[in-house]
Amino acid sequence: MLIHNRRHANLWTLLAPPAIWAIHFLLCYVAAAIACAKGGGPWVDLTTLRWVILGITIPALGLILVAGQQARRHWGFGTDDPPHDQATDEDRQHFLGYATLLLCALSFVSVIFVAMPAITIADCR
Amino acid sequence: MPDSEDAARRKAQEARLEKTWETPSGWRYWSAVNNTEVGLWYTATSFLFFLFAGALALLVRAQLAVPDNDLISASLYNQAFTLHGTAMMFLFAVPIFEAVAILLLPTMLAARDLPFPRLSAYGYWCFLIGGVFVMGSIFFNAAPDAGWFMYPPLTTDPKLTGIGADIWLLGLSFIEVASIAAAVELIVGVLKCRPPGMRINTMPLYCWYVLIVGGMILFAFPPLIAGDILFELERLAGWPFFDASRGGDPVLWQHLFWIFGHPEVYIVFLPSIALLAMIVPTFARRPIIGYSWIVLAAVGTGFLSFGLWVHHMFTTGLPAISLGFFSAASEAVAIPTGVQIFVFVATMLAGKMTRSTPMLFAAGALAIFVFGGLTGVMVAIAPFDWQAHDSYFVVAHLHYVLIGGMVLPLFAGAYYYYPLIMARKLSDRIGRLVFWLMFLGFNIAFFPMHFTGLRGMPRRVFTYPGGIGWDWLNLISSAGAVLFAAGVLLFTWDAIWGIRRRADSPRNPWGAGTLEWLNPIPGPDYGVRSVPAIASRYPLWDDPELPRRVDEGREYLPDAEEGKRETLVTSVLDARPIQCLRVPGNSFMPMIAAVLTGAVFILTTFHLYWTGLAFGVAAILSILAWLWRGTAMVPEKHEKDIGRGVRLPLYASGIRSVGWWAMFITMTGDMTAFASLVFSYFYFWTIHPVFPPLDAAGLPMGPGLLWPGVALLAALGAWGAMLWARARNTAGQAGGLRLGLLAAVLLALASGGAMLMGPWANGLEPTTHAYPAAVWVLLGWAALHLAVGVIMTLYALARSLAGKLTREHDIDIHNVVLYWHFAAITAVVTLATVALFPLLA
């Protein structure tokens, strides 16, 4: 799997965490758009949708954490400080791991950001 | 070897390189395809459009300087602001990124050229023709006049808008082709054409940005192309995608436009910030602090920017929860954007800053951009945006972001890179004056607009009454605009005439550490004398002997023995040399193909369909002729010595060939356009309580199951035949290959015919309702892909018959099969959507 048990980091493992954010975002948007468009009016109760959003947010966050674990491993668990600028296999791996780890952090926060409207908004107005 | 003999050998090598990469003279100059020429034309042309669009802005500001002004008519005013926005975005901001990247990227990679020089040239000519067509329309009082985002239903009515909207739609669709061509070129360039040893963790940050932006173009531009197709079908044929009275929805256009439009802001912003990422370390005299953080910022922004589009649509009445998602993502994108600013500031603080004109512009850019970013955080909050929407507050915000984030960094880049491109430095004394004129002029012009907006002035009004609190603010804004323009003009004077009085710049005038400064100034046509092996992020700082070794031809590819243009292809992560790529030389074919392609779009604008079709056929033939003579060329030997004891193959196919990557990247963009059409179909499902709608007999409309079923089987058959043909070729059976190709052609034609028969036989009339129109457009799209597949397959057949496609030399069949994977996916998804989804719904 892309975010787990990969021996070597590459561009795909780098892109995986923000891709999880993108999929989560798209699912939230599509689910809400359908719930409101097909629900029948602005007063539709969104309780189900809010549970659905919780139900996709927790796995998304979990996947990002898994990706983060792998990224930390690729980074060498921080044994070697940045800038990782040597022309070696090791530094290439550490750099990709570190950048992926940063992207995991950003994606994690962004997933929470995107899910937050579901905490407070209860209908389709 | 004695020194004299060695010197003679080097001279001979240089002479051969010189002759091989020579820029043609006389009228043949315009057949050049090398990045140095094409990049220069591209940059100059987009700068000219910038000046033109700026002049339109001055016209707008002159009209608004005083209340109740009658300097220009409302109609001309509408054309002026529409073209100003359109040109600044489509003819300046995006193209100049491509232009600068085509110009600089090969120098940063010490590559002789990018992998597809003729594609760059084609893109340039498309851009020039499309740009002149769109901009020229204002001289005939026929320019688009409904704002740069062309909202229907105002714009879908041909009587109301005249031909202007068609010029916008077709002219810009044509230019988008150029953007996608550039994206292909730049992505493959960064991934595959780095010098040996320039690993992914040591490549210049500019390359990271180019890579990300190239990817963003593939996902951002195609939705607009899809939208343009729907829009033109509505205007030219009456298919009611955006007409609410016939089941369409104008808001769909807003979605498609802004799925493009918001990422586009970052598409223009990131490459300019990338210039700062090259400039700041040079003047801080130290490596950038937080290289990985910049990568985080570029990748993170690239992704998050696709979750922002609805923040342009906060007032369309979408449910609050949807607005919430986009508002949240709009706030989240401030994180990676801020990270970049902090990285630059940290690098400046940690280094020993030297004062210079590029840094002056860089600092001014950051100040203005931060201010624009803060108002961006404000308008990202939906309730605030409801108040500020469509007011001058938004005009102020967007100019702060674009001029701070894009224009001023670009000027910093111009001052920094002028010696590299034009061999002379721009004047520092004039530069400081230019900066202060632009910086003060900008703030005087745009800062008051925040208040004009908060005082209620809507954007796009051609005049306003006096005494309601807008007079002085507008007058100040207009005065500022004049100052800003004076700065730009002074820069232009210095760039064209001022430098003529100056001496050539010394080599590496700023003492930079990155490879673009490796060459002597002015540099030879062939670029680097030999391609160096790289082992650090700042090779010129870390290895002071490097320029000497490169100049003496001691690195890779120091010669052009066969008189062929060659550059190195390396592996994606670690840049290990894998191929010596022969790139095609100068040719008029890209220009001819662009003229013919342009003619199709222009003739369609004037409803001359049959002539347009004839030119379309001619354009396809010209592209085929260009491909036949310039791609997948069979080399005279298998491999060659590139120096330092390394031998590399001259021919590579499948995933190892750059052409395969280009096809893959192009088709990714194509898939995005297709996904946008599918999105439109499902969008109609969400807005209609009954879907598909019922026909006159009270039964659900639809293309039925029979014809789509036949089409599906035939399309899968064609795809299977292609796979079989490829396998036969690998087995060395030319007969099997040709049989497979022929079978694929016949099956594809049958499938395309069956696709169109479905709605035809079931009486789906596309002008009656958005549903049948959506079905037709999806099936038409899939059938068109099969038709293109047929042309490619016949081309492969012809190549096989001509002996250019064989078991050993099989680039063509691999690339055509790759295309067929995508065509098959398109066919399957289309048929499932139009035939099976109605059963579920």
Q: Does residue B248 form part of some domain?
A: yes
Q: Are residues B611 and B696 in the same domain?
A: no
- CB atoms closer than 10 angstroms to residue B629: 11
Identify the residue among B194, B208, B292, B322 best suited for mutation to test binding to A, counting A beta carbons within 10 A and taking the highest.
B292
Q: Which chain A positions have a beta carbon within 8 Å of B336's beta carbon?
A: 106
The pair phi, psi for residue B634, each rounded to 5°, is -85, 120
Residue B719 to chain A, least CA–CA distance (Å): 28
Q: Are residues B220 and B117 in the same domain?
A: yes
Q: Are residues B705 and B784 in the same domain?
A: yes
Three-state DSSP state, B416: helix
Q: Which chain A positions have a beta carbon within 8 Å of B199's beta carbon?
A: 87, 92
Q: Which chain A positions have a beta carbon within 8 Å of B329's beta carbon?
A: 25, 110, 113-114
d(CA B266, CA B275): 14
Q: Does A56 touch chain B (CB under 8 A)?
A: no
Q: Are residues B706 and B819 in the same domain?
A: yes
> What pLDDT is stored for residue B795 in this prediction?
97
Q: CB-CB: which of A25, A82, A103 is closest to B329?
A: A25
Q: Does residue B328 form part of some domain?
A: yes
State the helix-helix crossing angle for B408-422 and B428-454, rounded to 10 degrees: 160
Q: Which chain A positions have a beta carbon within 8 Å of B327's beta carbon?
A: 117
Question: Are residues A114 and B321, on separate chains, in Cβ contact within 8 Å?
Answer: no
pTM: 0.95
pLDDT digits (tens, 9 = 90+) for B531-565: 999 999 999 999 999 999 999 999 999 999 999 99
The answer on pLDDT for B696 being more than 80 is yes
The answer on pLDDT for B159 being more than 60 is yes
We report the CATH number of the domain holding residue B175 as 1.20.210.10
Q: Are residues B601 and B452 in the same domain?
A: no
| Boundary (domain end) residue, out of B501, B531, B547 | B501
Domain carrying residue B492: 38-501
Identify the residue among A49, A92, A114, A120 best suited for mutation to test binding to B, counting B beta carbons within 10 A and taking the highest.
A114
Residue B377 to chain A, least CA–CA distance (Å): 14
Q: How many CB pairs under 8 A join A and B?
A: 134
Q: Which chain B positions have a beta carbon within 8 Å of A39's beta carbon?
A: none
Torsional class of B107: left (φ above 0), alpha (ψ -120 to 50), beta (otherwise) = alpha
Mean of the per-residue pLDDT values of chain B? 94
| CB contact at 8 A, B128 and B109 | no
pLDDT digits (tens, 9 = 90+) for B292-334: 999 999 999 999 999 999 999 999 999 999 999 999 999 999 9
Cα-based distances in Å from B325 to A115, B28, B146, B308: 7, 55, 29, 9
> What pLDDT is stored for residue B2 in this prediction?
59
Three-state DSSP state, B702: coil
We report the CATH number of the domain holding residue B764 as 1.20.120.80
Q: Which chain B positions have a beta carbon within 8 Å of A124's beta carbon?
A: 319-321
Residue of A nearest to B293 (CA): A99
DSSP string covering A15-71: HHHHHHHHHHHHHHHHHHHHHHHHH-STT-B-HHHHHHHHHHHHHHHHHHHHHHHHH
Q: Letter for the amino acid at B21?
A: W
| CB contact at 8 A, B672 and B586 | no
Residues with Cβ within 8 Å of B62's Cβ and at least 6 positions away in sequence, in order, are B71, B72, B478
Residue of B nearest to A9 (CA): B573
DSSP code of residue B709: H
| pLDDT band at residue B3 using 50, 70 and 90 as cut-offs | low
The answer on pLDDT for B713 being more than 60 is yes
Q: How many domains does chain B have?
A: 3
**Could you give the percent of chain B with pLDDT greater than 70?**
100
Q: Does residue B197 form part of some domain?
A: yes
Cα dihedral B216, B220, B221, B223 in deg (nearest 10): 150
| pLDDT band at residue B733 using 50, 70 and 90 as cut-offs | very high
Question: Are residues A106 and B336, on separate chains, in Cβ contact within 8 Å?
Answer: yes
Residue of B nearest to A35 (CA): B686
> What pLDDT is stored for residue A78 in this prediction?
83
B458 cis-preceded (ω within 30 degrees of 0): no
Q: Which chain B positions have a beta carbon within 8 Å of A86's beta carbon?
A: 535-536
If you average pLDDT over residues A1-5, what whole number do you get?
84
DSSP code of residue B72: S
Q: Which chain A positions have a beta carbon within 8 Å of B320's beta carbon?
A: 117, 121, 124-125
Identify the residue among B259, B321, B331 best suited for mutation to test binding to A, counting A beta carbons within 10 A and taking the highest.
B321
| pLDDT band at residue A2 using 50, 70 and 90 as cut-offs | confident
The answer on pLDDT for B1 being more than 70 is no
Contacts 24+ apart (CB under 8 A), B618-623: B619/B593, B620/B791, B622/B589, B622/B592, B622/B593, B622/B596, B623/B593
Residue of B nearest to A100 (CA): B296
E strand or H helix at B582, and its extent?
strand B577-582
If you average pLDDT over residues B628-652, what whole number do you get?
92
Question: Are residues A85 and B320, on separate chains, in Cβ contact within 8 Å?
Answer: no
Find which of A38-52, B38-52, B136-150, B165-179 is predicted with most confidence, using mean pLDDT.
B38-52
Q: CB-CB: which of A28, A34, A89 is closest to B325?
A: A28
Q: Does residue B85 form part of some domain?
A: yes
Residues with Cβ within 8 Å of B333's Cβ and at least 6 positions away in sequence, in order, are B300, B301, B304, B305, B307, B308
pLDDT digits (tens, 9 = 90+) for B176-221: 888 998 999 999 999 999 999 999 999 999 999 999 999 999 999 9
| pLDDT band at residue B839 using 50, 70 and 90 as cut-offs | confident
The answer on pLDDT for B703 being more than 90 is yes
Residue of B nearest to A99 (CA): B292
Torsional class of B635: left (φ above 0), alpha (ψ -120 to 50), beta (otherwise) = beta
DSSP H helices, B285-332, are 291-304, 320-332
Q: Does residue B42 form part of some domain?
A: yes
End-to-end CA distance of chain A: 41
Mean of the per-residue pLDDT values of chain A? 92
Nearest residue to B520 (alpha-carbon basis) of B532, B508, B503, B534: B508
Three-state DSSP state, B568: strand
Q: Which chain A positions have a beta carbon within 8 Å of B291's beta carbon?
A: 82-85, 95
If you average pLDDT over residues B161-185, what whole number do you get?
89
Q: Which of residues 73-92 of A touch B (CB under 8 A)?
A: 82-87, 89, 91-92
Q: Which chain A positions have a beta carbon within 8 Å of B202's beta carbon?
A: 85, 87
Which residue in this structure is represented by tokens 């790139």? Answer: B583
Residue of B nearest to A28 (CA): B325
Q: Are residues B480 and B608 in the same domain?
A: no
Q: Are residues B671 and B597 in the same domain?
A: no
Min mean pLDDT across A10-24, B153-167, B196-210 is at B153-167
Tell me how far the alpha carbon of residue B711 is from its chain's centroid.
34
| pLDDT band at residue B635 using 50, 70 and 90 as cut-offs | very high
> What pLDDT is stored for residue A79 in this prediction?
87
DSSP code of residue B194: P
Tell me how far the alpha carbon of residue B366 is from its chain's centroid.
25
Residue B302 to chain A, least CA–CA distance (Å): 9
Q: Which chain A positions have a beta carbon within 8 Å of B382's beta carbon?
A: none
Question: Are residues A36 and B319, on separate chains, in Cβ contact within 8 Å?
Answer: yes
Cα dihedral B589, B592, B598, B602 in deg (nearest 10): -170
